[in-house]
Structure 1
Amino acid sequence: MAAATPLSILVSASTSTSTDQFIAKTLDTNLRFQRAKTASNKTLYNDVLTKALKICFEDNSVEKVGALKAVMTEVETVVVTDSPVCGYLLYMLADACRQLTLYTDALNAANHSLKIRETLYGQDSIEVSTCLDLLVGISIAANALDHAVSLFVRSFKCNVFGSYATYAQLSTSIARFKATLLEREQPFLAIKMLAQTSEVLQQQLLQSIQQQQQQQQQQQIDTSALCSTLLGTLLDRADLYDNKLNEYQSTIECYELITTLKGIPSKDVGHAYELIIQTYFKAGRYDQTKDNVAKYLEMATRCFKVNSVDMAMALLYCARLMEEQADRPSPTRLCDQVDALRYYLCTLKIARETPGGIVLRDLPSDTPSATQKTLRDKVETILFNNRPLRLEEVANMVDRMLQITTTEFLLNGQRSQNWLLKYLYPDFIAEDALREKAETLPAKCGPLSKLNGLMKSWKQMWFTLNRESLSYYKSNQDTKPKGELSLLEIKSIEVIVSKEKKMKPQTHCFQLVHPKHTLVLAAETEEQMREWITVLNKAKQYWEEWWSTNLVIEGA
């Protein structure tokens, strides 16, 4: 069959054309679908279709529905069933039945119209999308909401991949349908709809990125509206999980998806991290809160210029949150306070070092100088509340900190945190902070074979690494060590590749080189040997930096 004229000219009956003009256009369009092309049949064709189309312009009523049902039998005698005019008449019949709450008749007519449109124009055509929208309305009215969601998503997919609607229009349709589902107290169906529409948008975004790569940057594809609509669906879905179902983990998964999508603007990714952090914080998940603060700042460092408003805003958010977490009875309160100070100090340095200064919208300051004063007040307050110092001493300390630190140093979590632990707290409180960090410090225990220096024989011992000390015991049941070694005194940790007889039968050997004696050890497997060497080196580096940390920073 020859390709049909798009049905959109039949559905709309534009107000700029008269009824007679519309009927004449429809008669002309459907001539190729006439059953028998004779002079007498053409007259019948014109009379029957004119009669049917005029009924469509009548006000909706039971009589109109009856008349349309009756005339359809006549129409099918002059044109084939799979014709544009039959699709149109069935569409109008379905809409009239919907408005008269004759939902069964409405669904039957709309589904029949849909099949005709799929045959004429294809599964993903705008004509099919228009009919799907009608079916959505009928299904909602009939309270068949699950079916309505499936129809809505199919229509949405047609509109996205066919570019039949703008992303602003698509966002509006999603919002309206979501509101309808929530009015019917169906949050699960609203979430299902948002999940499926976001999947469609993700597919379109991926296609756009791939198309851009294939064009080798010759023509920039604007995906801003697409990204905005996709973000809206994910954020709405997260909001429903959070406020309607109280499922914080599902809420976080929606936000985390935003951080993994290609093509999403960095500012929106940053906002998603803030929402992840805030959700974990509300749930009292301290470890996850701190982990995502670190991820957020890693992303900000990678995507934003160091001396920029965007970087300063990210740091300010993290500073406020860690300060608030330090006020709670968290297991890492002292370290949280240090991180809050670190982020405030880094924000202050950016505000001071950015040419022309910056103004941060989240601060009650409308000038660069006022912004710097507000940030400095925060730094001084934290110092004053944690050290027995006079105000002028605190001011001098802040001046010194600003003078000898760099933004890059403050963003280096381990080094700057240890430095500030000593700066912020007296020694005995700094030790308490170290105990808070115990789970994150390098540590390990397990069996290793030790080479006896005199007898040149191997003996299995139980080794424990705690802070900067490596102790070994006769067994893991003993409480008194047979020996102990400070990692700070070790010169190097090396794999032994020698095939000397004294190493036999051990094959996975390594040594801790000490100025006075060398400790030769062996693990059961190469993997275990590598694990011990890695953790010992990490511990050695950490504690060397800790004990060497002072108020002078090399290269600052």
Structure 2
Amino acid sequence: MSYYSDTPSVDDELESLGWYHFDLSRHAAEALLLSNGKDGSYLLRNSHEGPGSFALSVRAKDSVKHFHVTRKSSGYAFGFNEFASLQDFVSHFANQPLLGSETGTLIVLKCPYPWRVEEPSIYESVRVHTAMQTGRTESDLVANAPSFGTKEGYLVKLGAVVKNWKQRWFTLNRNELKYFKDKMFDEPIRTLDLTACSAVQFDYSKDRVNCFCLVFPERTFYLCAKSGVEADEWIKIIRWKLSHIRKER
């Protein structure tokens, strides 16, 4: 997977790096590190900002931070540091593995995450919301990324008593699925505790497309997304959460 067509030596250098994940997306990197990595796991990947731009993704407990790495004619620029070669860049991690986060704590680059691993299909479907913060100080170079597994959007919900369908704004954070009358409302109509949910799956019993259901002891909730892809994303991310809930029991 050559990234620089005119600099084969750089290609060889990057491709020989066991933790360079080529075109792995930001979202997939977060899913990969949070699902299979551990605190301090890190990897290098291409950045969407174009040739010569990379991102170092690091797991810090229950979130993933992203740092800009730029390939220049003189070597690699990482924060305020520049390295003449990739070997110097790697040695920096081995000898000075601490990075300050926005909370004042330290992130330790403990172990590279190898790219030669089997990646579950969930990484291609799950979308998470992240925000990158940039600036002129080292703390400004740290990403503010919410925990993997957050999602929000409009879904159409079947009423419990009056069997009509109404659009609601849903947010998923940690083990709570909340729905609101609309996006601008602060107070949810209801909060669903996913620790009590036994299953989530596509549903074909209703005369609607892109429908799925969440099964709780007292009730089954029927929801419809605007597309099959969107419904699949909701199902996969909730299943991911349910699997982690069961592991913790």
Alpha-carbon distance change, 462 to 332 in structure 1, aligned in 2, over 3 angstroms:
same
Distance in 2, matches of 1:272 and 1:480, equals 44
Q: Which residue of 1 aligns with 2:172?
A: 465
**Cα-to-partner distance string for 1:2-36 (whole Å, 9 max, x where unaligned):** xxxxxxxxxxxxxxxxxxxxxxxxxxxxxxxxxxx
Aligned partner (choices 184, 193, 196) of residue 477 of structure 1 = 184
- What is the one-letter code of the residue matched to 2:96? E
Correspondence for 1:374: none
Q: Whole-Å Cα distance in 1 between the matches of residues 19 and 173 of structure 2?
A: 38
Q: What is the correspondence of 1:125-274 to structure 2 with a 5 Å cutoff?
A: 195=6, 234=9, 238=10, 255-256=13-14, 259=15, 269-270=16-17
Find the counterpart in structure 2 of residue 524 from structure 1: 226
CA distance in 2, matches of 1:475, 1:526: 22
Q: Given the alignment of the two structures, is residue 290 of structure 1 paired with residue 58 of structure 2, yes or no?
A: yes
**Aligned partners of 2:238 and 2:186: how far apart in 1?**
22
Partner of 1:74: none
Structure with greater proportional strand content: 2
* Offset, 1:492: 0.4
| Partner of residue 448, structure 1 | 155
The letter for the 1-side match of 2:162 is M
Indicate the structure (1 or 2) with the bigger Cα radius of gyration. 1
| Superposition deviation, residue 513 in structure 1 | 0.4
Give the direction of change, closer, same or farther, for the CA distance of 1:452–1:271 in structure 2 (3 Å limit): closer
User: Mind listing any 5+ residue stretches in structure 1 that lack a counterpart?
Assistant: 1-193, 199-233, 239-252, 260-268, 292-316, 345-410, 413-435, 549-556
Counterpart CA distance in 1 for 2:101 and 2:238 is 29
Q: Give the Cα separation in 1 of the matches to 2:162 and 2:18.
A: 64
Secondary structure, counterpart of 1:527 in structure 2: helix
Q: Quick one: distance in 1 between partners of 2:19 and 2:188?
A: 50
Contact 1:443 1:539 in 2 (8 A): no
Q: What's the RMSD between the two structures over aligned residues? A: 4.1
The answer on 1:537 being equivalent to 2:239 is: yes
What is the SS of the residue equivalent to 1:472? strand
Q: Aligned in 2, Cα 1:319/1:330: closer, same or farther, shift over 3 Å?
A: farther
Within the candidate set 69, 72, 96, 1:324 is matched to 96
Structure 1 match to 2:107: 336
Query: In structure 1, how many angstroms separate the alpha carbons of the residues matched to 2:245 and 2:103?
Result: 20
Aligned to 2:199: 492
Q: 2:215 aligns with which of 513, 516, 519?
A: 513
Read off the aligned partner of 2:224 and give its amino acid letter: A
Distance in 2, matches of 1:538 and 1:331, equals 28
Question: What is the alpha-carbon distance in structure 2 between the residues aligned to residue 515 and residue 318 of structure 1?
Answer: 52
Displaced runs of 4 or more, over 4 A? 317-320, 331-335
What is the distance in 2 between the residues matched to 1:484 and 1:319? 48
Provide the identity percentage. 23
Q: Alpha carbons of 1:332 and 1:520: their partners in 2 closer, same or farther (altered >3 Å)?
A: same
Within 1, Cα distance between the matches of 2:191 and 2:212?
A: 17
The superposition leaves residues 383-433 of structure 1 with CA deviations (integer Å, 9 ceiling, x where unpaired) of xxxxxxxxxxxxxxxxxxxxxxxxxxxx99xxxxxxxxxxxxxxxxxxxxx
- Quote the Cα distance in structure 2 between the aligned partners of 1:463 and 1:195: 48
Where do 5+ consecutive residues of structure 2 fail to align?
21-42, 48-52, 60-88, 119-142
Paired with 2:190 and 2:246, the residues of 1 have a C-alpha distance of 21
User: Which has the larger helix fraction?
Assistant: 1
Alpha-carbon shift at residue 488 of structure 1 (Å)? 1.4
Structure 1: distance between partners of 2:163 and 2:107: 50
Distance (whole Å) between structure 1 residues aligned to residue 234 and residue 19 of structure 2:
38
Counterpart of 1:465 in structure 2: which amino acid? L
Deviation (angstroms), 1:538: 1.7
SS at match of 1:288: strand
Question: Hey, what's the Cα distance between the residues in 2 that align with 1:516 and 1:323?
Answer: 56
